Amino acid sequence: MSAAGHKVPGSIAQVGVVMRYSFLDYLRSRRFVILLVITFIIGGLLTGVVGYYRPAGFLGSPLSFLSGWWGLSVTLITVLSGIFFGGDAISGEFQNKTGYFTLPNPIRRSSVYVGKWLSAFTASSIILFIFTAITLANAFYYFPGMSIPWQFGESLLFAWFYLVGVLGFTFFFSSLFKSSSYSILITAILFLFAFNLIDTIVSAFAQVEPWFSITYGSQIIGNILTTPYPDHITKVAAGFGPRAGAAATFTSYNVTIPEGLAIIGIYFLVTAALGLILFERKEFN
Amino acid sequence: MTNPSIEAVNLSKTYGSFTALSNLNLKIEGSKCVGFLGPNGAGKTTTLKIFTDLIRQSSGEALINGNNVHTHKKAALASVGTVIETPEIYPSLTPTEALSMIAAIRGIPHSERSKRIEDVIVEVGMQEWAKKRVGKFSKGMKQRICIASALLSDPTIVLLDEPTTGLDPRGMSEVRDIVKSLKKKDRLIFMSSHILSEVADVCDEVAMIDHGKLLVYDTLPNVTAKFAGGANIVEVELIRPIDSSVMERSVAVIQGVVSVEKKDDKNLRIKYGGGGLEIQEKVLSDLVRLNIGVVSYKPASSALEESYLNLIKDTL
C-alpha cells in the first residue's frame, strides 16, 4: 500500500502496463518506420521481379507461388523484426538508462521483462501481418478467386511461432549485454549468417543433422508449402568424371514438423528463461 | 501512520577486491530532510541504488519502513519516490504518458490519475511541455519529469541522488525549491549531494560517508558545532533591511560574536567564538531580542564545508 493509500497492482496487471507503454514507444519509434519501409521494399522488389520475369516456378499454382514468395522471405522479415524490437529491449534499459525511470518503483523486474517481450512481439506481429497481406495481395492478383491453401495458414502460424523463438533468443542476448549495439550486432550476425553457415557445414560436410539450430527448425515455415513435404534425409552423390557418383556424398536434412516445433519451442523456453534470470541478476552500475 | 524510516543494517557492497560500502549502519526515521554527503566514490550512489534495488548488497540489509528492499521490493518501494542518477524516459512518450505509466504501475486509480499527473507537472513547471515527446527534451527538463514521477504517488519517503547534477544554475535553484517544498508535507527526504551549500540550505540533518563507511550522522548544527573547528558561522535572514549602524552597534556587540558581515540588506553572516550549540542558541536569542526581524538562522554552508573537509581529511 502506498502513502496515499493506493494498492500496488499485481504483477500481471503491471506486465500489461509495461507492455502498453513500451508498445506505444515502439510504434512511434524510427525503427518501426524503418522496418516498415524494409518490409515494403522486400514486398515491392518481389512484386516487381515476379511481375517482370513471371517465373514459371512461381506461377504454376497458388501453393508454388506462395512457396516461392513467402518461403524465401518470411524468415528474413521475422528475424529482422526480432532484431529490431528485441535486440536492445533489455540492454537499452541499462545503456539508455530508461531502467532508472521504471525499475525504482514497486514493480518486479520480471514484469518489466515480460511486458517488454509482449510489446516487442506485438510490434513484430504487426510487421509480419503486413508482409502477409502483401504476399496474399500478390497471390490473389495472379490467381484471382483462389482459395488460400491450408499449408499457407500453417506456414503463417509456424512463422509466428518462429517469431516467438527469435524474440526469446534476442531477449537473451539483450539481457547478456549492457550495450545495445553489441546485443543487436551479435543477434544479427547469428541469425543472418552464423546459424545458416553452421547448418550447411554440419549437414553437408559433417553429415550430422543440425537439430541444435533454430534456423534449421525454422525450415518448417517453407517446407510446409512444398508438396509432398520433403524427405527428412536426402543424400546426393556428387563428383566429376566417370567415377563421379562415388566421389562424394552430400547429405541434406529437412526438419520434420514436430522436430521443428520442438526446436523452436525449446529455444524459446531456454533462452527466455535464461534472459530473465540474467536481467534479474544484472546490476545498474 | 507510522513514521517513515529507512535503515541500513551492516550494509556492504563489494566489486571484486573493491569495497564500495562497508558495514553501513544508518537508521533515519521521521519527517525530515537528510543530506547524504561524501566525495566521489564514497558510496553514496551505491547506497541509494541498493535502497532502490538497482543493485544488490553483498551482505547486510536495506530496509524501508521495515521491509527488505531486495526480498520485498513492492512493499518496500510502495511509498517511496526516487530519482537516481539522471534517468531517461522512453523517448517517444510524452511526460503525461510517461507519468501515466508510473501512475498505473503504482496503482493510482484512474479517477485520480489525470488530476494527480497535472498537479505534479505543474509542481515541476513543465505544463507547457506535458504533451510533447520526451526525446527532444534537455537534461534539465527530463530531470524535472523524473522528479514529477517521484512525487506522483505522494510518497512519504523521497530518495534523491544528486538531484541538481547537470542542471544550469536556474534549474538547480528550481529543483532546490521543489525539494524545499517537499518538506512542507510530512516526508522523509534522503538526498545525496556534492553541493554543500545546497545541503546546508535544504537539509535538517547530514550523514557523511567516505570509503564506504559512515563518518557521522547528526543534525546540521551539531555536525558543524563538532567538526567545523574555529569557523562557527551562522547565516541570518531578516524580514526587513538592517541599517549598518544598527548592525555595528547592536549585533556586533552581542556577547560571543566575533564579527558580523552584511551579505545584503536582509542577510547577515555572523561569526561567533567558542563553539557548540549553547553559544549558537545564545546568539540567536540575543538577536531575537533586538527585534530586527529574524526569520531564518542556520549554520553557514562554509561551516558545513569545514566540517566536511575535516571529516574527510581524517579518512584519507
Least-confidence region, from A64-68, A160-164, B262-266, B286-290: B262-266
Residue B193 is predicted with a pLDDT of 87
Residue A180 is predicted with a pLDDT of 84
Q: Is the dihedral of CA B113, B118, B121, B127 positive or negative?
A: positive
Find the angle CA(B166)-CA(B169)-CA(B174) to the nearest 5 degrees: 95
CA distance A184 to A169: 11
> Which range has highest mean pLDDT (B42-56, B245-259, B267-281)?
B42-56
pLDDT at B162 over 70: yes
Per-residue pLDDT of chain A (285 residues; tens, 9 = 90+): 555 667 899 999 999 999 999 999 999 999 999 999 999 999 999 999 999 999 888 888 999 999 999 987 999 999 999 999 998 899 999 999 999 999 999 999 999 999 999 999 999 999 999 999 999 999 999 999 999 999 999 999 999 999 999 999 999 999 998 888 888 899 899 998 999 999 988 888 888 899 999 999 999 999 999 989 999 888 877 666 666 555 677 778 899 999 999 999 999 999 999 999 999 999 998
Query: Who among A17, A108, A283 is closest to B56 (CB)?
Result: A283
CA distance B279 to B84: 39
**A246 vs B240: which has the higher pLDDT:** B240
Q: Is the dihedral of CA A241, A243, A249, A252 positive or negative?
A: positive
pLDDT at B312 over 90: no
CA distance A56 to A47: 15
Residue A40 is predicted with a pLDDT of 95
Q: Is the dihedral of CA A99, B202, B124, B152 positive or negative?
A: positive
Could B88 and A98 be called an inter-chain contact, meaning their C-beta atoms sit closer than 8 Å?
yes
CB B143, CB B170: distance < 8 Å: no
Burial (CB count within 10 angstroms: exposed 0-12, middle 13-18, buried 19+), residue A92: buried
Could B107 and A97 be called an inter-chain contact, meaning their C-beta atoms sit closer than 8 Å?
no
CB A120, CB A78: distance < 8 Å: no
Q: Is A101 on the interface with B (CB under 8 A)?
A: yes
Residues of B in contact with A29 (CB under 8 A): 91-92
Residue B176 is predicted with a pLDDT of 83
CB B121, CB B130: distance < 8 Å: yes
Alpha-carbon torsion, ordered A4, A2, A98, B20, to 10 deg:
120
What percent of chain B clears pLDDT 70, i.e. is strictly above it?
96
Q: Is A147 on the interface with B (CB under 8 A)?
A: no
Residue A149 is predicted with a pLDDT of 94
CB B220, CB B34: distance < 8 Å: no
CB A254, CB A234: distance < 8 Å: yes
Helix-strand-coil split of chain A, %, nearest 5: 70, 5, 25
pLDDT at B231 over 60: no
* Location of C-alpha cell 521504471: A102
CB A110, CB A171: distance < 8 Å: no
CA distance B259 to A202: 88
For the stretch B41-84, pLDDT in tens is 899 999 999 999 999 999 999 999 999 999 999 999 999 999 99
Nearest CA in chain A to B97: A21
Strand locations in chain A (E):
233-238, 248-253
Average pLDDT over residues B150-178: 87
Query: Who among B52, B56, B106 is closest to A8 (CB)?
Result: B106
Confidence label for B274 from pLDDT (cuts 50, 70 and 90): low
Instruction: Report DSSP letters for A190-211, one per residue.
Output: IIIIIHHHHHHIIIIIS----T
Residue B199 is predicted with a pLDDT of 87
Phi, psi of A17 (to 5 degrees): -65, -50
Average pLDDT over residues B138-166: 90
A264's CB contacts (< 8 A; 6+ apart) are A161, A162, A164, A165, A214, A217, A218
pLDDT at B27 over 80: yes
- Return the SS3 of A232: coil
pTM for the model stands at 0.86
Instruction: Report DSSP letters for B197-225, one per residue.
Output: HHHHHH-SEEEEEETTEEEEEEEHHHHHH
Residue A135 is predicted with a pLDDT of 95
Residues of B in contact with A3 (CB under 8 A): 1, 78-79, 153-156
Query: Who among B85, B87, B93 is closest to A24 (CB)?
Result: B93
**A244 vs B273: which has the higher pLDDT:** B273
* Location of C-alpha cell 502477409: A132
Residue A153 is predicted with a pLDDT of 96
Count other Cβ atoms within 10 Å, centred on residue B115. 10
Give the cell for residue B274.
567558542
